[in-house]
Amino acid sequence: MSVRNVLIVGAGFTGLTTAIALAQRGVAVTLVDKNQAWARVGHGLTIQGNALRVFREIGVIDEVLAVGQAENAVTLYFADGRVMAEMPTPRTGGDDLPATIGALRPDLHEILVRRAAELGVEIRLGRELASFENRADAAVSVLSDGTTETWDAIVIAEGIKSQTRATLGIAEDRRPTGLGIWRAVTSRTPEMTGGIAYPMSDDGGAYKVGYTPVSADQCYIFVLCRPERADNGLPDWQEVRRLMANFHGPFDHLRDSIDENTFLNFQEIEWIFVEGPWHRGRVIALGETVHAVPPLIAQGAAQCVEDALLFAEHVTQDGDFETQVQEFHARRIPRVKGVVDASMQLAEWELHPGTPGADPGRVMGGALMALVPAP
């Protein structure tokens, strides 16, 4: 194989899955992350079947399913609580896996950390990549602690805010989508399955509200809104309630469950898509470093872990590294671009409620159906 020792920079889903997939194939992997220690941070997320297929390949599917809540459909609502449609979710991972699961991000992260450790991945926390140098058949890293080492490849998995991306000759940078998002984990009633509600017009509230069950009595809730936190003097929990004021049906329960004790997170949603090469010599960027989109069809994490598995498959075969990464890139671009195009179309409709001809269910379903074949 063309790599025997690899440095991975960034210990999110992309970095950890890459580390696991490479270590399974006999590669010595070192993983560095800028965080000084692991922390249970983050809210919930929806994991599509094609991500579950990757988790099966790297040996963690039973643990993932144990901490998640399986769902095979989503209910689309009008903001007044009327049902717009019941939309079965395509089984992008195959018929033997759930269409989706809802889970807490820190639970999934802990599963991946354990699996990496089981496979002998060396994890160094509190370190970043300061610089790198490509040589004929290797890459040299200088870490923030001054350590200088030589690798067969370096994987950049720093995410959308990567400081290394530009040094790979990538001109694209993150850009605003025009959307912001509030996230929380709150209670749900037993009959509440996954749902998304759309307003009929821009009334100053949320562009969209949705929720995904993450346990028998909890759900992850997201509220799409303008990209700036309103300067209206309201505490966070009251601001989220204000944004949800005109959403009814099951969303009444969700709104009322948010109070001063609810942990809320707000951020502007940015995006990036790099269609050109993701690598320079023996250094390659994967995951949200080169493709990050609004979470409108829940494919962000899935596309990241697909990158990880397929990269490992390519570079652990016999052959030339440069040819392998070019073939990997050519294989990934059409699939990732389909997700990007669908997500940005949905974002445009979110920004302009009531757009004639807008059909989010059709676009969501079509984009997911295109992902049913294995990558």
Each residue's pLDDT tens digit, 18-66? 999 999 999 999 999 999 998 877 789 999 999 999 999 999 999 999 9
pTM: 0.96
The yes-or-no verdict on residue 178 having pLDDT over 80 is yes
DSSP secondary structure letter of residue 269: E
Q: What is the dihedral of CA 109, 208, 365, 94, to 10 degrees?
A: 20
The yes-or-no verdict on residue 204 having pLDDT over 90 is no
Q: Which helix (H) or strand (E) holds 333?
A: helix 321-351
The yes-or-no verdict on residue 352 having pLDDT over 90 is no
The yes-or-no verdict on residue 200 having pLDDT over 80 is no
Each residue's pLDDT tens digit, 234-257? 999 999 999 999 999 999 999 999
Count how many residues are written for the chain.
375
Amino acid occupying residue 106: P
The mean per-residue pLDDT over the stretch 89-109 comes to: 95
Q: Enter the tokens of residue 138.
A: 């290797």
Sheet holding 283-285, edge to edge: 122-125, 28-33, 5-9, 153-156, 283-285, 279-280
**Residue pair 98/65 in contact by the 8 Å Cβ criterion:** yes
Q: Enter the tokens of residue 123.
A: 């994890």
**Residue pair 133/140 in contact by the 8 Å Cβ criterion:** yes
